[in-house]
Structure 1
Amino acid sequence: MFKKYFFAAVMTAFATIASAADLQESAFWRAEVDAGDLPRVSERMPSTPLVIDLERRNREFGRQGGTLRTMVTRVKDVRQMVVYGYARLVGYNARYELVPDILESIVNEDDRKFTLNLRFGHRWSDGHPFTSEDFRYWWEDVANNELLSPSGPVDFLRVDGKLPTVSFPDETTVIYEWKKPNPQFLQSMAEARPPFIYRPAHFLKKLHAKYAEEEELIEMLYEARVRSWPALHNRSDNMYKFDNPDLPTLQPWMLATKDGKSRFLFVRNPFYHRVDTNGVQLPYVDVVEMQVVAPGLVAAKANAGQVDLQARGLDFKDTAILKKGEANSDYTTHLWGNGTASQIAIYFNLNYNDDGWRNTMRDVRLRRALSLAINRKIINKSLYFGLAKEGGMTVLPISPFYREENRRMWADYDPQQANDLLDDMGLIERDKDGFRLLSDGRPMWIVIETAGERQEVENALQIIVDNWKDVGVKLIMRPLERDILRNRIYSGDTMAATWFGWDNGIPQSFTSPSYLAPWDQAFFAWPKWGQFHQTSGQAGEAPDLPAAIRLSKLAEAWNDAYAAADRGIIWQEMVDIHADQVFAIGILNEAPQPVVASNRLKNVPSEAIWAWSPGAHFGMHRPDEFFFAD
């Protein structure tokens, strides 16, 4: 079947402007335009810009101007501006449908052949044309260059291990084609962290040995104090990290701070491709100021009115202090829904380096028992005033794959059944303190490592300490830095860990279920199985648990399926397997996420979903449409 995706979506979601003459010049850039250093706005926009119909979306028309203040807790989190900006080849709209964004349109032929049509006249932030050459450069000179990409192109471009045929018929057309379907192609490009299958070729070619003059390249290497051109190229090519102010971008704001430490400024992109029906180029906000502060200070600074938009670094426990500051600091605290599958989840490392413990943790009765032993109602009341939903880790009710029985499976507080399951495992012997003993005589002391970043996690674990003690299991908490925690998990040194549940708790049939399969080390229950898949068997371990093997086969079947109905059936079985096997012990989901927004800042939703995937946190709610009333 030949399908032209998105045509109807474009016509209903977006309006038009009468002509280029209707475009309004930005006051922020007017001096540069008057001096002849920057083209007029009518010459900066694509011939067919993305025109946003704000009335249809029940939003106000805004005005350009102002500086929006926000905070992060690490310097590396300047990358959140790529997440929040959410300029993607295709992206999610408010109904979680995939629609063109940077692309003018796309033609999808049975998920095998994708024709990407660029906007004629679209430009990078430095004014250079954005064309198919930027896609060709990435594909031929970066992704398939062993010095720059030792592992080759990113995994989502492989179908049965085979890469696509990629062609560039003209400067506004790019074609990706496989022999079999690649249903995750479009969805992958809409992620919070997109794969960026294009690069500013005009900027990076001067750092590439294939194109650069040898003497000039040697001089640049000397100035940058790096030994090789691939190192210089990779250091400069940080599309997602967003830490190189010289690297052109297509995002709504571009980094204007070089070598920043605690304060970063992002200014409006003069060549941004979105415009409202009044002819006002987005973003409305001229400047975003991002302050780096200690994690414990985010709520206090928000309370003092030192931010205009903030959610990152805020937890539900901060709601009380945030509400107290509303009157004096002129902001509102919204409580958005949360899109993760579980606000807190416990992962037993099925690839733990200790043979005795690994075999014990692979027995599903242990995971079921310890899930049944948790009093989620007490945790909910203590942490969220009963506003979260109690249950195991599964998808959220707005997903078509939600089943109430999966949420409750092995999740109702039942210490008697938990004790029976542990007894049935043969874990009957106890030490003098009442803790059960493994078959080798060691006490059942379970060390759960955390990133030490969320007080709610430690508070929940304190309650679980008492719950598990009642069934003869001792819980020991060990906080670590995030990077150290991940490295220990990936190497098999961590027994158990806590993190969020699946980032995407609201999947649809077109969502790749790869994160439910043992394909990624980032799922803390099976890091080495994930490494095995990610390295094509060069590292890690092959899955040897029947349920995990079944999940892998189902994910492969989803990749080969042609019909949405078939993909939906596969999704449901994978969700059901996770609920039954308790690969992660979910505690609560749909916990409210506080979002602080200045009362001067308009078009910020009072109700929305805060999610990494899909949604890119603020991104899907289009911060480029937020504006200051004064």
Structure 2
Amino acid sequence: MKIRRAIALMFAFLLVVMLFLSGCGSGSTSKEQESAGEGNIEKGEKVDEGKENVSGGEIGGFKEAPMLAKLVEEGKLPPVKERLPEEPLVYVEGTEVPVNDLPKLEIGKYGGTLRIVNPGSPGGGEWWAISREPLLNQPGFGTPGEKPVGNVLKDFDMSEDGRVFTFYMRKGLKWSDGHPVTTEDVRFAYEDVLLNEELTPVFPTWLANPDGTPCELEIVDEYTFRIKFKEPYALFPYTLSLHWQTWDSGPLLQPSHYMKKFHIKYTPLEELKPLLEENGLGENEWYRLYSLYSWGGGALEKTRIGCPTLAPYMLVDMPSAQVAILRRNPYYWKVDAAGNQLPYIDEIRADTVTTVDMLPMKIMGGEVDLARQAVSITEVALYKENENKGGYRVIPLKFHCPIPITFNYSNPDPVWREIVWDTRFRQALNLAINREEIIDAVYHGFASPSKITPSEYDPEKANQLLDNMGLDKRDSEGWRLRPDGKRMELLIETSAPATDFIPMIELLVEYWKNIGIYTTMKQVESSLLSSRVQANETQVIVSSWFDLPVAQGNPYMLEWVFLNDRYKVSDGFHKWYTRFGKEGIEPPDSLKPVFELYRKMRASKSFEEIGIHMDEWEKAMHDSLFLIVPVEDVMIPLIVSNRIKNVPEKGYQIMANFAGEVLFYDE
């Protein structure tokens, strides 16, 4: 333990040095970057930022990137004023990244290519996060109880009873191909995509009434529409302000002028046949063809080149299946406080590596400008040692996904179910966990004890609880016995999706053995584990992440990462919740509040009610120990080029990607 403490202190010192050095760096400014403040300046144009809830101040005119100014001069592109909506979103401090994490937002310089590399497919988590554009917005992950503000949409109103939502679009907003964004795109998305059973076999619950029927859409005019529900649903705007659910993955907005070309209602089958054949699809598989050519939450694919977007970058080329080239959207609808149209960086080049083990060599060789998703704290010393060689800096930031210990509450073994439903059993397991040792041994001191779960370490109290609940008898080897006389055994299963899972589970095995429970672990291939979960064959699973801080900021995320996840709530409870009690297993009173309180959040009439119920939900999770979170706020490295500015220096690591449109090269 002394050695581990020494290692932790060494890493702590390294962190301090890293934080001090990360603010350093200077360089010369290229001629092209000096011209970024020039371009076509429209005199006297004022942006109404009052309705944007931003403080960009007076904007005397709009400016654009030199590469776009050249196209304007050649007559290939309209002037920047005509490309922007009447009221662009003015991006200032606190618009997306919390002010505390990025207190000073610099006016950037145009130019450069952002190089990102991921294992598997091009783009990965870096492109995914940079391209996120929700219809509404909240800074950071959001705050329960506060009203979301405009983003793609200009603004919205909610009726007093929380049932009717009126949305106002940005007049003059355009898709990346220059076509206007209007309520026809909303009507198309609702009537022709959401209500089409081939494209949408199951209507999304977040857009449905409590009885499962679809919400009602009313088109008011070209830039105004209403969504109506049968019951109060103040949580609805939160579904539209979640970065995980954006215009392209909602969907409430689709580029109808483009996507109608792939829709059987608007394009005869005879005209679709060549594309169906080209993509190896059957004659009746037009709906698969539609998905291939739609963003719809999909990955970077050749078929999506040309599909209009509202993101800062559009896919323009894929030289191979391992490389994607994205270029600035000339019709992007955000500007900085000086009137410069965003984004600052011209292009993104997304490459891939065959395995994650190859990524460090790319980073240390100076071939990567931004790396987030595939780096871990275990590599921080290696990356730090090669900073100068690679021309990057290592910024330690918080990971937004702690690892939970989850229980199968619907395992058919009646004795197991009786034991695991008893709160005292989960309390005992939790009390046996030495979080300080996990933090030192697994995370080298860069994590914190959980807050959503009690963090007291008291093995003696754990033993007392197990004795009191009737698990006081032991076999000849000293292991506790169940009420039916069988040995009390726990099997922890994992697919080990990251390097910290196995070391943590090995410690859990020892902790629970120390209180008399015969505990083992088994690494299982992910698809097999998924089958075992659905078949109710598991006991304990430590094999996924829990986007807890995201859900704490935007309660709608609870449905995504908790209530709809069989790994976390068990198959029986999941069926009971999603099928309104008609199927599955009803949770006991001690566990039911985590479901009921979310339903109360959804049925709230005001945003303030949501905040109150979220506080109650966190207390219910804490007291019930529905799942156990050993540690939170694990610090992981963000790798970023020394030349890139407007990078958060604290907070959550993923925010650097969410702020992708304001990243810029300083030399």
Instruction: Classify the TM-score, shorter chain.
Output: 0.7 to 0.9
Q: CA 1:99/1:16 → structure 2, altered by over 3 Å: closer, same or farther? A: farther
CA contact (8 A) 1:69 1:309 kept: yes
Which secondary structure does the structure 2 equivalent of 1:610 belong to? Answer: coil
- Is the Cα–Cα contact under 8 Å of residues 439 and 445 in structure 2 kept in the other structure? yes
> What is the deviation of 1:80?
4.9
Normalising by structure 2, report the TM-score: 0.82
Q: Residue 656 of structure 2 is aligned with which of 597, 618, 621?
A: 618
- 2:468 is matched with 424
Q: Determine the structure 1 residue equivalent to 2:134.
A: 88
Q: Distance in 1 between matches of 2:561 and 2:379?
A: 35
Please tell me whether residue 379 in structure 1 is matched to residue 419 in structure 2: no
Q: CA contact under 8 A between 1:49 and 1:274: conserved in structure 2?
A: yes
Q: Deviations over 1:515-561 (max 9, x none)?
A: 499842355232332234335567x6142322333333332233333
C-alpha distance in structure 2 between counterparts of 1:506 and 1:625, whole Å: 22
1:202-251 Cα distance to aligned partner (Å, 9 max, x none): 12212222111232123332332212222222333332124322322111
Give distance in 1, aligned partners of 2:554 and 2:393.
36
| Cα deviation, residue 336, structure 1 | 1.5
How far 1:626 sits from its partner (Å)?
0.4
- Deviation, 1:273, is 0.8
8 Å contact kept, 1:142–1:148:
yes
Alignment deviations for residues 146-169 of structure 1 (CA, whole Å, 9 cap, x no partner): 222121244344345443321112
Displacement of 1:595 in angstroms is 1.0
Taking the aligned partners of 1:480 and 1:260, their CA distance within structure 2 comes to 33
- Aligned mates of 2:319, 2:232 — CA distance in 1: 44
Q: Does 1:273 align with 2:333?
A: yes
Partner SS state of residue 28, structure 1:
helix
On the 8 A contact 2:260/2:267 being kept in 1, the answer is: yes
315, 318, 325: which one aligns with 2:379 = 318
Trace 1:88-107 onto structure 2 (pairs within 5 A): 88-93=134-139, 96=142, 98-107=148-157
Look up the SS of the partner of 1:384 in the other structure: coil
Contact 1:167 1:176 in 2 (8 A): yes
Match of 1:397 in 2: none
1:68 alignment partner, SS class: strand
Structure 1 stretch displaced more, 256-265 or 599-608: 256-265
* 1:208–1:85 Cα change, 3 Å: closer
Residue in 1 that maps onto 2:29 = none
The one of 33, 39, 44 aligned to 2:83: 44
Q: Residues 521 and 529 of structure 1 are in contact (CA less than 8 Å); yes or no, is this contact kept in structure 2?
A: no
Q: What CA deviation, in whole Å up to 9, does each residue of 1:428-456 have, x standing for no partner? A: 44445433333445433322222322222
**2:409 and 2:573 in contact (8 A); partners too:** no
| One-letter amino acid matched to 1:307 | V
C-alpha displacement of 1:335: 1.4
CA contact (8 A) 1:184 1:510 kept: no
Tell me if structure 2 keeps the 8 A contact 1:333–1:596. Answer: yes
Q: Which amino acid aligns with 1:100?
A: G
Identical aligned pairs, as a percentage?
A: 28
CA drift of 1:272 comes to 0.9
Counterpart check, 1:75 vs 2:121: yes
Is 1:254 the counterpart of 2:314? The answer is yes
Matched, 1:27 2:66: yes
Look up the match of 1:398. none
Paired residue total: 598
Q: 1:531 to 1:253 in 2, by over 3 A?
A: farther
Is the partner of 2:405 in helix, strand or coil? strand
Alpha-carbon distance between aligned partners in 1 of 2:71 and 2:254, rounded to the nearest angstrom = 26
1:126 counterpart = 2:181: no
The answer on whether the counterparts of 1:369 and 1:421 sit within 8 Å (CA) in structure 2 is yes
Q: Which moved more, 1:598-607 or 1:120-129?
A: 120-129
Note the alpha carbon deviations across 1:343-377, whole angstroms, 9 max, x for none: 22211111234444333322222211111111111
Quick one: structure 1 residues 43 and 9, their matched pair in 2 at CA, closer, same or farther if it must change by over 3 Å? closer
Residues 455-496 of structure 1: per-residue CA shift (max 9 Å, x gap): 222111222222222112233232344454344323423322
1:102/1:118 contact within 8 Å kept:
yes
| One-letter identity of the residue aligned with 2:408 | N
- Mapping of residues 555-570 of structure 1, within 5 Å: 555-570=598-613
Quick check: 1:189 aligned with 2:189? no
Structure 2 spans left out of the alignment, 5+ residues: 1-47
Q: 1:16 to 1:169 in 2, by over 3 A?
A: farther
Is 1:10 aligned to 2:52, yes or no?
Answer: yes
Give the root-mean-square deviation of aligned CA atoms.
Answer: 3.0
Please report how far the alpha carbon of residue 513 of structure 1 lies from its aligned counterpart in structure 2 after TM superposition.
Answer: 7.7
Structure-2 separation of matches of 1:248 and 1:60: 29
Q: How does 1:137-216 map to 2 (within 5 A)?
A: 137-194=188-245, 195-216=250-271
Any conservation in 2 of the 1:501–1:586 contact (CA below 8 Å)?
Answer: no
Matched, 1:358 2:417: yes
What is the identity, as a one-letter code, of the residue corresponding to 2:389? N
How far apart, in 1, do the equivalents of 2:544 and 2:365 lie? 29
1: CA distance, partners of 2:220 / 2:493: 52
Partner of 1:541: 584
Q: 1:523 to 1:84 in 2, by over 3 A?
A: farther
AA aligned opposite 2:257:
H
288-297 or 365-374, which moves further after superposition? 288-297
Could you tell me which of 605, 616, 620 is aligned with 1:577? 620
Match of residue 287 from structure 2: 230
Return the letter of the residue paired with 1:263. Answer: V
Distance 1:35 1:363 in 2: 73
Q: What SS is found at the alignment partner of 2:471?
A: coil
- Partner letter of residue 83 of structure 1? A
CA distance in 1, matches of 2:624, 2:561: 13
Distance 1:272 1:520 in 2: 34
- Kindly state the Cα deviation for residue 596 of structure 1 after the two structures are TM-superposed: 1.3
Query: Under a length normalisation based on structure 1, what TM-score does the superposition of the two structures give?
Result: 0.87
| Residue of structure 2 aligned with 1:297, choices 358, 380, 403 | 358
Amino acid at match of 1:533: Y
Alignment of 1:475-514 (within 5 A): 475-499=519-543, 502-505=546-549, 511-512=555-556, 514=558
Letter in 2 for 1:92: Q
User: Residues 294-332 of structure 1, C-alpha deviation per residue, up to 9 Å, x if partnerless?
Assistant: 223334533333321112122222222122122322222
**Cα distance in 2 for residues equivalent to 1:415 and 1:258:** 57
Q: Which runs of 5+ in 1 are unaligned?
A: 1-5, 395-406, 612-616
Does structure 1 residue 108 correspond to structure 2 residue 162? no
Secondary structure of 1:471's counterpart equals: coil
Structure 1: distance between partners of 2:49 and 2:336: 20
SS of corresponding position for 2:465: helix
2:667 is the counterpart of 1:627: no
Q: Distance in 2 between matches of 1:256 and 1:509?
A: 35
Q: Distance in 1 between matches of 2:411 and 2:67?
A: 56
**Cα distance between partner residues in 2 of 1:517 and 1:336:** 22
Give how far 1:264 is off.
Answer: 2.3
Shift in Å at residue 132 of structure 1? 0.8
SS in 1 for 2:424: helix
SS at match of 1:75: coil
Partners in 2 of 1:164 and 1:577 — Cα distance?
30
Q: Which string of whole-angstrom CA distances, capped at 9 and with x for unpartnered residues, describes residues 489-521 of structure 1? A: 234233221145641326668734854998423
Q: Compared with structure 1, are the counterparts of its residues 113 and 510 closer, same or farther at alpha carbon in structure 2 (3 Å cutoff)? A: farther
Distance 1:27 1:354, change over 3 A: farther
- Give the whole-Å Cα distance in 2 for the aligned partners of 1:38 and 1:516: 41
Inter-partner Cα distance in structure 1 for 2:410 and 2:513: 25
| TM-superposition CA deviations, 1:579-626 (whole Å, max 9, x none) | 122111111112212111111001101112236xxxxx4344x11100
| Shift in Å, 1:564 | 4.4
Q: Is the 8 A contact 1:509 1:571 kept in 2?
A: no
For 2:422, give the aligned amino acid: D
